[in-house]
């Protein structure tokens, strides 16, 4: 069978609800590699929070982080790294707007690669973002954020998420793209306009000389929409949101039921 590129989202897709890779899924991916297929990760997480899974699967491909804002090859430093942060001035304008329009946000977080800035001190959020031991700074982002962030996050109560996103779309649509995290976190994630996982996957597929029609991508959330549309075969997990299932070429079992393994065993005739 011709070589395929298998693209894996992490949370809700490759990972179980306990943030583990099941033994069956791991064995299936290992078998796919043995048969000559390439496997890569495409995630909204920074690399420091996805490195453990990259190593656990013994991957040797580039990885897409921050939903396409950062693409690099952990094992090949000669591979041309892609990093497209949003303008720091735009980031500050967004923080100012959250105050001016009284959006009742809980916090704003900016990530400059492995430097994490918190607008307000929040031990619970700091614990969430502390994976990989980033440099953490707390204080008004309008004063402390001096570099262009790879991504920004607005944490708000559920009832305020829609109005904040509406403002972002009406005022900043030309310079940023934004998505919503899954429950229980009511978080709006913001990156530079035009960036998404498909942008990164295209760069990796070109490097590996694998055509678009032989890309298989798995996802479960709205930050996976572009990559499922881009892939030759876009597969939504059984636990995926309905908008993703509606654009997917196929739907597999959930992340708790080894959905990736079930699909690959059948589609690539691995078993």
Chain segment 194-217, per-residue pLDDT in tens? 999 999 999 999 999 999 999 999
**C-alpha–C-alpha distance, residues 21 and 11, integer Å:** 10
Token pair 């779309």: residue: 169
> Hey, where are the domains in the chain?
5-83+195-268, 88-192
Q: Rounded mean pLDDT of 25-43?
A: 97
Q: Rounded mean pLDDT of 6-35?
A: 97
Asked if domains 5-83+195-268 and 88-192 share a fold, the reply is no
Distances 121 to 116, 125, 171 between C-alpha atoms, Å: 12, 8, 28
DSSP 262: H
Question: 88-192 has which fold?
Answer: 3.30.1240
Among 71-80, 125-134, 197-206, where is mean pLDDT lowest? Answer: 125-134
- The C-alpha torsion from 20 through 24 and 27 to 28, rounded to 10°, is -110
Sequence-separated contacts (24+) of 55-61 with Cβ below 8 Å = 56/21, 56/26, 57/21, 57/26, 57/29, 57/30, 58/30, 61/204, 61/208
pLDDT on residue 226: 96
pTM over 0.85: yes
The set of catalytic residues is 9
Phi, psi of 139 (to 5 degrees): 155, 165
- The CATH architecture one would assign to domain 5-83+195-268 is 3-Layer(aba) Sandwich (3.40)
**C-alpha–C-alpha distance, residues 251 and 176, integer Å:** 30
């Amino acid at each position: 069978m011709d070589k395929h590129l298998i693209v894996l989202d992490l949370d809700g897709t490759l990972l179980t609800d306990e943030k583990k890779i099941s033994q069956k899924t791991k064995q299936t991916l290992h078998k796919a590699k043995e048969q000559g297929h390439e496997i890569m990760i495409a995630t909204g997480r920074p690399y420091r929070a996805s490195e453990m899974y990259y190593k656990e699967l013994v991957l040797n491909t580039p990885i897409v982080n921050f939903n396409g804002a950062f693409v690099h090859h952990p094992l090949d430093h000669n591979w041309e790294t892609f990093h497209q942060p949003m303008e720091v001035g735009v980031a500050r304008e967004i923080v100012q707007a959250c105050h001016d329009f009284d959006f009742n946000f809980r916090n704003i977080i900016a990530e400059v690669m492995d430097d994490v800035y918190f607008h307000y001190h929040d031990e619970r959020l700091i614990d969430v973002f502390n994976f990989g031991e980033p440099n953490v700074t707390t204080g008004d982002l309008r004063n402390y954020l001096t570099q262009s962030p790879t991504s920004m996050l607005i944490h708000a109560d559920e009832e305020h998420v829609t109005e904040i996103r509406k403002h972002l779309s009406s005022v900043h649509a030309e310079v940023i793209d934004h998505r919503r995290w899954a429950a229980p976190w009511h978080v709006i994630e913001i990156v530079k306009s035009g960036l998404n996982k498909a942008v990164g996957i295209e760069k990796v597929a070109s490097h590996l000389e694998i055509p678009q029609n032989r890309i298989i991508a798995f996802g479960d959330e709205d930050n996976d929409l572009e990559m499922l549309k881009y892939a030759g075969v876009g597969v939504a997990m059984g636990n995926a949101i309905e908008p993703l299932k509606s654009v997917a070429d196929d739907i597999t079992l959930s992340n708790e039921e080894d959905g990736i393994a079930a699909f690959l065993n059948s589609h690539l005739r691995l078993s």
